[in-house]
Chain A
Amino acid sequence: MEYESIIGLEVHAQLLTESKIFCGCSTIFGSPPNTQTCPVCLGLPGVLPVINRKAVEHGIKTVLAVGGKVHAESIFARKNYFYPDLPKGYQISQYEKPLSTGGFIEIDTDSVKKKIKINRIHLEEDAGKSMHPDDESDDETSVDMNRCGIPLIEIVSEPDIASPEEAYLYLTKLRQILQYLGICSGNMEEGALRCDANVSVRPMGVEKFGINTEVKNMNSFRGVEKALSYEIERQIEILEKGGTVVKETLLWDEKKQISSVMRTKEESHDYRYFPEPDLVTLAVSEEWIDQIKRSLPELPEQKKQRFVTQYEIPEYDAGVLTSSKELADYYEECVKYHPESKMVSNWVMGEVLRELKERKIGIKNFKIAPTDLTDLLRLIDEGIISGKMAKEIFAEMTETGKSASEIISEKGLAQITDEEELSRIVEEVLTDNPENVKMYRAGKEKLLGFFVGQVMKRTEGKANPKLVNEVLKAKLSENRDEK
């Protein structure tokens, strides 16, 4: 039987604010445990939360970027459960009245564009991190509260995602948007972006949804894809054997590439949500939304379309170049100095991206500045170096960090474009090969290639081929007239 899968994703994104969502503590990642805490985020008796407007602003930016509706009033709620990394015994989140509803993210599947609808986006605080000892030693589990109160938005999709590949594309696109907005690092390994999935399958043509399970602990983009494939196969296998899927929560194990049951429905929490009495209703005025709207940067889709029209490059190129804001900025900076936009695109998509991939670095850490690259490209245009030489020089530049002209002069790599010098070399070649000259003049014009080769040999390939051709042709015909 054919099955189709139905996936909904819940993505938690840590917001790049300087301070936490309800207190003044720093949000910098990687500090020693429990150094970025205060009575508020530690949940000491008597303390109160105060909302960080910047976190709300970041949330609103996201809503606007996906075309959702920001609610004029939203309400914080307490999600109650006991866990050592949750110092208050509840997490401040939003429940009945979230920051926003609606919106969508468009993904490019094989041939078509598909809209994945957003159900809601809400604000909440992060919990701390339990640090379990690796082995079976007597070390006690300890808790790092630095993460307590880091602002999060949760972006909940509709169950519009039909495959693990689509889930991957959705996540990539969502991360791209968040990074463009500059509100989330998007780093899944550091936990700045976390993803849980609701998965169900049903036989093709059946309208009723299957029983869904929740998959957690997917720590990378590829991990999400793999975990979802695994879960879909598992569910299909159960149904094929005539069984029923159990509503439960599963944990993905990246190392073992399997998932295992974390808790069943019977064990599921009753979070006893109720409105957080320590915070007032979060009011978002039209003026505030307008102000944020005006401050929104160009988003990936807009930038891509602009690249197509402004730089007259193919949509494919534009898509690759705008995959990250930094790469797009790099490209635009290059075009500013070297307006041959398609040539620049070829170089950035080709040499530059290859280099980044090999070195496993981002464009931000790339040694070659846009002006260094365009200097190199200008040398090609001016005929000083050939395209082939340029690639070698580029490789050298990435190794040494030297500029193109430095490398050229150091290695004497410049093309010979001096007509007088070339004429002299051509004369030598013609004088040394009287037989071939005769044959050429007799009509065997194919021999031009032989002469070019000879010139190149004598110049160690540095002669400008176009100029060599011109000079050769002129000399060979010129002398005939004399005879």
Chain B
Amino acid sequence: MKRGEVCSEEIISSVFDQIKKANPNTNAYVTLLKEQAKESAKRIDDRRSKGENLGALAGLPVAIKDNICTRGVRTTCGSKILSNFVPPYDATVVRRLKEADAVIIGKTNMDEFAMGSSNETSFFGLVKNPFDSQRIPGGSSGGSAAAVALHMATMALGSDTGGSVRQPASLCGVVGMKPTYGRVSRFGLVAFASSLDQIGPITKDVKDCALLSSLICSHDPKDSTSLPEAESNFTESLEGDVKYIKVGIADEYFGQGLDEEVKEAVMKGITLLEKLGMKVEKISLPHTDKAIATYYVLATAEASSNLARYDGVKYGFRPEEELDLSQMYKKTRSEGFGAEVKRRIILGTYVLSAGYYEAYYAKAQKVRTIIREDFSKAFEKVDVIITPTSPTTAFRIGEKIDDPLTMYLSDIYTTSANLAGIPAISVPCGKDSKGLPIGLQIMGKPLSEDLIFKVAYALEQNL
């Protein structure tokens, strides 16, 4: 590009050509920003021709999950209740992307308020899997994963509260990473469960993932939970010696419910890393089976409070008719939220209620601490832990939507990283007999993104 062989405008218009072809089938985008994107690309080309210095993502088409605020551009969270909400500010990550001269091409579809594992709960319709239109792409960042998989964007941002970046990345055959809690600013990310939410990149390969991560991982004074760590360039440490790295595998992640083909592919990946000189060791994460229950208590509790602000008073959807205050609240929220969101608000309200708080919320907090300690102990022995990302490959549309408990188990291998606040990445490691992608998850200790990128890169390059 630097030599002017391809200009940004051409890249952007070819991406929109691809979107025109692929999006009607997948429904990956909620909002497209064709005109703005073209203008941005033109400005970047002008600056390039003048010999100006350009940012690290100059002219690259990037998609943003629709729960990340974009100034002047509708940010819906896949919900009717925010279907007309236009934020007057950019999320910190969006600001950083713009500063790096990325071109934002659109807002991607998602499960309503990021609550779902199949992308079937969006007010704007479900998203289809790029490999099989009868199947789901995973969720909740299904739009971002599908967009990247189908070349409708070079890279995308998603958000991961219990696996919402990694699981769709796995099911769509792309790379997705959830950073250490606090490493990426949450300012401008519409909250689902504040103590678990992290924005993460979804990309074609590990190198792009490291590049995008380097850009978004930085301290932000606007987010009190933001870590003070200095910025890192993760792309610099991808190559080099891997023989010193110790890999842990835990039986708890290879038990009942795991698809045989997925298990085989992940084991093959581990064997490959062993061949590269890494030492593989058995470890135990004994409280893994408590993660899903703990997650659903804490995440719904926080969500019930985070979503209280959507009351029809200030912005967003409000019913047309004249109503008194309490009726207005009821109608706004009954009509504005979908079934899954309502289910979680009710669950979260319940676990925080007087008389139940100790038994549910307080207990879940204790279990969360124990799960975190499980990981601390394991990381005394090994550098990274490898597991499947998802117990199965992409399932059929409608297969689990009426059975929330089964649906919740889709996140069985991913929620622990959120509860423990540790970084985790999903990398493609083959396909099943139906041709559906399989993802391998690499988890590391807090702030060890560089290391999990390195392992992911080694796997990707040698697969």
Contact = CB atoms under 8 A, between A and B. Distances in A.
A337 B280 CA distance: 86
Given A89-B311, A272-B353, A278 B187 contact: no
Contact of A87 (B186, B189, B309): B309
Nearest to B195: A277
A44 B23 CA distance: 30
B224 A280 contact: yes
Nearest to B302: A277
Nearest to B355: A270
A481 B347 CA distance: 115
B349 A43 contact: no
A20 to B, nearest CB: 14
B361 A50 contact: no
Chain B interface mostly: loop
A42 interface: yes
Contacts, number: 98
Interface residues of A, number: 28
Interface string B79-95: 00010010111010000
Given A82-B311, A87-B314, A272-B349, A278 B225 contact: yes
Interface string A37-51: 001001111111111
Nearest to B312: A84
A278 B224 contact: yes
Interface string A274-304: 1001111000000000000000000000000
B325 A84 contact: yes
A37 to B, nearest CB: 10
B305 A274 contact: yes
Interface in B308-329: 308-309, 311, 313-315, 325, 329
Given A45-B82, A88-B308, A270 B354 contact: yes
B353 A270 contact: yes
A51 B349 CA distance: 26
B223 interface: yes
B69 A46 contact: yes
B292 interface: no
Interface in B87-127: 87-89, 91
A143 interface: yes
Contacts of B357: 272, 274
A90 interface: yes
Interface string B208-234: 000000000000011111000000000
Interface string A62-104: 0000000000000000101010100111100000000000000
A48 B305 contact: no
Given A90-B308, A270-B354, A45 B187 contact: no
Contacts of A42: 314
Contacts of B91: 46
Contacts of A270: 353-354
Contacts of A277: 193-195, 225, 302
B352 to A, nearest CB: 4
Contacts of A44: 87-89, 314-315
A278 B194 contact: yes
A279 B82 CA distance: 25
B191 interface: yes
A48 B308 contact: no
A48 B222 contact: yes
A78 B311 contact: no
Interface string B139-155: 00000000000000000
A80 B301 contact: no
A39 B304 CA distance: 20
A45 B329 contact: no
B437 interface: no
A366 B177 CA distance: 67
Interface string A300-320: 000000000000000000000
Given A80-B305, A88-B309, A45 B225 contact: no
A45 B67 CA distance: 9
Interface in A84-132: 84, 87-90
Contacts of A46: 67-69, 75, 87, 91, 187-191
B161 to A, nearest CB: 12
Contacts of A143: 313
A49 B222 CA distance: 7
A50 B221 contact: yes
A274 B195 CA distance: 12
Contact of B224 (A39, A50, A78, A82): A50
A277 B222 CA distance: 14
Given A272-B352, A272-B353, A48 B187 contact: yes
A46 B68 CA distance: 8
A280 B75 CA distance: 27
A45 B336 CA distance: 15
B77 interface: yes
Given A88-B308, A272-B305, A48 B77 contact: no
Contacts of B325: 84
B336 to A, nearest CB: 13
A47 B91 CA distance: 9
A279 B309 contact: no
Nearest to B328: A84
5 contacts: A46-B68, A47-B188, A50-B222, A280-B224, A280-B225
Question: Lowest 9 CB-CB distances: which A-B pairs, in order?
Answer: A89-B308, A277-B194, A272-B352, A277-B195, A45-B190, A46-B188, A46-B69, A46-B190, A270-B354
Given A46-B188, A49-B224, A272-B352, 9 more contacts: A45-B77, A46-B69, A47-B89, A47-B188, A48-B187, A84-B311, A89-B307, A277-B194, A277-B302
